[in-house]
Amino acid sequence: MPRLRPTAALLIAATLALPQEQPIFRTTTNLVVVNVEVRSRDGKPVEGLKAEDFEILESKQPQRISVFEYQRLDSEAPPAPAAVAAAEEARSAAAISASKPGELRYRDRRLIVLYFDVSALAVAEEIRARRAAEDYIQKSMNESDLLAIMSFSSQLKILHDFSDDKESLLAAIKQMRLGEASDLAEGAAADETTEDTGAAFTADSSEFDIFNTDRKLGALEDAVDMLASLPEKKAIVYFSSGTSRTGSENESQLRATVNAAVRANVSFYPVDARGLMAEAPAGNADVGNIRGDSLFSGGAQRQRRDRVNAQQETMDTLAADTGGKAMLDTNDLSLGIVQAQKSFSSYYILGYYSSNPAEDGRYRRVEVKMKLPEKYKLVYRAGYYAPKTFDKYSSTDKERQLEEALRLGDPVTDLPMAIEVNWFRRAKDRYIVPLAVKIPGSVIPVVRKKQREEARLDFIAEVRDERGRAVASVRYFIRIELTKENLGQLGRKLLQYDSAFTLPPGEYRLKFVARENENGRLGTFETKFTIPDLAAEQAWLRTSSVVWGTQRVPLQQRVGAANKKDKSNKGNPLVRNGAKLVPSVTRVVREGGELFVLFEVYEPGSTPAQTLDLEASVSLFNRKGKALESEAVVIDSRPSEKSPSVPVQLRVPLENLPPGDYLCQVSVVDKAGKKFAFHRTPMVILPAQTGL
């Protein structure tokens, strides 16, 4: 099937005057929190120190301490009532409660997150991980501990906020569905160790693993971001059965996760839920014989061991680079949580507002010194990565920004947009879904490149079905080259981007992200849409969705395209006779303009002479009643075998209609089949303006 590729066009008839963008004043402060353990010569925590006893330098520049707190972690001390109340209040919300800058929400408490990556756990491994967590809660959890519980299958879930209520924590663990995503756990790759199932072909899952690993590491980064507002030390006990990296493709996401953890004072304590593994040369009893002769040469066993080492290497990197420790090759998984617990000792929280305002993403070394003559051992993280502005982003950073915006639950509205989704049937179980996006030209900055003006835009979109599975996606970069004529019009016009998907009938959710590539401003748009099953028996006349437009643009006039040489517009239902109907996403037209209507009719009836008898007309209604009705257009030609649908195109002049609000209705009657259908949409006619 032909796949429609996206294009972008500068709309000429979009004459709606847009307000000038108002100036926005922003101020930012970079609060840096450093947790410092001060130990005497005998290794015991030193108490009673004050802020003036410390000196902090960032890149050798002295910093003023603005936040100073002492966290006393004593397993024998009863919990502070205020902390318990805060924990209980947050627990009921089933979310990680954030702290205000400088606020200490959990005083004298040890914060540990139990994180279950069920997408990387087989059923038996998930059972062992859950038993280890339950065993720790029942036997080893002390009165200074506050636990939170998270899980990841296809998305990150917060099962419990920080709390010391053992019964509630155990209930949260039990509510996880066993084996929810165990089919995503990493299996054998397509190499000599692949199981011989008798099939002639074994699929290589390398490409899937690249994105699967990025999603796992990205979910860890999301968990860290939720904890970032808490200035206390945090530990994430990460239950997994290993995460393989495919070459260098996942290095960027791994580094981003580690950097986020360092900034948020989070340490990873990965636990390999497989425990101590001892395999026979031919593999365990739950797999079949392997292919080839690697069983007899020892190659199969060596490759399996190398794969396990690669999976554990990622876990070890997460731990080593964040100050934690990985628990590998042990059957007592609860020791991993105990290890995280024992790594916490009493510490001081020092916070300062960095005197370096540069957002360059560079590493800044932090040094903490004591002004006292006594010699103490200081344990702290020696630096962090500064935030980064868009002009400092690498290409990898830009890709990550788009992916993160696609995953965000809250919309980003720095780049306003409007979206319209239509659908046209191409087979009984296949529909082409054109997508139209409008963006105000006034928000798109223009840059000069090699003696010409251009605007640069990035688009990424994803369609998910009613079960939350990704079924279609699109990712394109478009460079819009502007002439002197349309450059002057850009601030008063709209840019339109269009793409298309091929989908079966069903209910879907679309999420679209756009970014201008000069300042990095983003906009997201999310909408639901339904593609009906027209193959089912219907009392109404079968039609496609109706596209309402105010202009038709020759394909040669588009000002930007993802691929200038593409010929995919041949299959686009909006393209007729070398011109494309531009959907009026906002349903706004100027006084004296024209209205274009396009839709398709499927399986119409016919007369004994094998001719059609279809009539279509357009009516506009205002508060007084019917304001306009077009002449009925008669369609009597049969659809061809190549195109079984009957296209209907209507053109309605609006020069006699005054400005105002209208309701547009298109009616189509199949006299031969004795069926009809009508579609309605609101529309606004604005007064004509000169100079636009």
What whole-number distance in Å separates Cα of residue 200 and Cα of residue 189? 16
Q: In terms of domains, do 316 and 433 share one?
A: no
Asked if pLDDT for residue 301 goes beyond 70, the answer is no
pLDDT at 289: 59
- Flag whether 72 is in a domain: no
pLDDT at 482: 74
Structural domain harbouring 132: 102-195+204-344
| Overall average pLDDT of the 56-63 stretch | 92
pLDDT at 614: 87
> Of 536, 564, 588, which residue sits at a domain end?
536
Q: In terms of domains, do 320 and 216 share one?
A: yes
Q: In terms of domains, do 6 and 131 share one?
A: no
From 216, 157, 158, 156, select the one nearest 184 (Cα to Cα): 216
pLDDT at 607: 61
pLDDT at 185: 54
What whole-number distance in Å separates Cα of residue 516 and Cα of residue 522? 7
**Distance from CA of residue 362 to its chain's centroid?**
25
What whole-number distance in Å separates Cα of residue 318 and Cα of residue 300? 28
pLDDT at 29: 58
Q: In terms of domains, do 19 and 144 share one?
A: no
What whole-number distance in Å separates Cα of residue 507 and Cα of residue 532? 8
Q: How would residue 665 be classed by pLDDT, with cut points 50, 70 and 90?
A: very high
Least confident of 150-154, 282-286, 540-544: 282-286
CATH of the domain at 165: 3.40.50.410
The answer to whether the CB of 313 falls within 8 A of the CB of 258 is no
Asked if pLDDT for residue 78 goes beyond 60, the answer is no
pLDDT at 298: 63
Task: Please tell me which residue, 549 or 87, carries the higher pLDDT value.
Answer: 549
The DSSP code for 106 is S
Asked if pLDDT for residue 606 goes beyond 60, the answer is yes
| Overall average pLDDT of the 193-219 stretch | 52
- Flag whether 34 is in a domain: no
Tokens of 189: 């790759």
Q: How would residue 237 be classed by pLDDT, with cut points 50, 70 and 90?
A: very high
Q: How would residue 162 be classed by pLDDT, with cut points 50, 70 and 90?
A: very high
- Flag whether 58 is in a domain: no
pLDDT at 16: 36
- Flag whether 581 is in a domain: no
pLDDT at 668: 93
Find tokens 């049969």 and name the residue. 638
pLDDT digits (tens, 9 = 90+) for 557-566: 665 555 545 5
Q: In terms of domains, do 335 and 397 share one?
A: no
What whole-number distance in Å separates Cα of residue 36 and Cα of residue 655? 75
| Overall average pLDDT of the 370-390 stretch | 82
> How many domains would you assign to the chain?
2
Q: How would residue 79 be classed by pLDDT, with cut points 50, 70 and 90?
A: very low
pLDDT at 284: 59
Q: In terms of domains, do 518 and 459 share one?
A: yes
Cα torsion through 646, 648, 649, 652, rounded to 10 = 170
pLDDT over 90 percentage in the chain:
18
From 154, 78, 161, select the one nearest 113 (Cα to Cα): 161
- Flag whether 1 is in a domain: yes
Assign residue 275 a region (left: φ > 0; alpha: ψ between -120 and 50; beta: otherwise): left
- Flag whether 5 is in a domain: yes
Asked if pLDDT for residue 664 goes beyond 90, the answer is yes
Task: Please tell me which residue, 416 or 490, carries the higher pLDDT value.
Answer: 416
- Flag whether 360 is in a domain: no
| Overall average pLDDT of the 341-356 stretch | 86
What angle, rounded to 10 degrees, do the helices at 334-342 and 123-135 form? 40
> Of 275, 310, 344, which residue sits at a domain end?
344
Q: How would residue 169 be classed by pLDDT, with cut points 50, 70 and 90?
A: very high
Q: In terms of domains, do 135 and 3 share one?
A: no
Q: In terms of domains, do 405 and 500 share one?
A: yes
> Which residues make beta-bridge pairs with 63?
56
Q: In terms of domains, do 299 and 427 share one?
A: no
What whole-number distance in Å separates Cα of residue 535 and Cα of residue 427? 9
Q: In terms of domains, do 424 and 299 share one?
A: no
CATH of the domain at 473: 2.60.40.3880
Q: Where are the alpha helices (DSSP H) in 588-638?
A: none
What whole-number distance in Å separates Cα of residue 544 and Cα of residue 132? 56
The answer to whether the CB of 149 falls within 8 A of the CB of 114 is yes
Asked if pLDDT for residue 113 goes beyond 90, the answer is yes
Task: Please tell me which residue, 606 or 582, carries the higher pLDDT value.
Answer: 582
- Flag whether 280 is in a domain: yes
pLDDT at 91: 44
Q: In terms of domains, do 402 and 321 share one?
A: no
pLDDT at 14: 36
Q: Phi then psi for 442, rounded to 5 degrees?
A: -70, -20
Q: How would residue 672 be classed by pLDDT, with cut points 50, 70 and 90?
A: confident
> Of 536, 563, 583, which residue sits at a domain end?
536
| Overall average pLDDT of the 518-523 stretch | 84
With a threshold of 0.75, does the pTM exceed it?
A: no
pLDDT at 404: 78
Q: In terms of domains, do 340 and 397 share one?
A: no
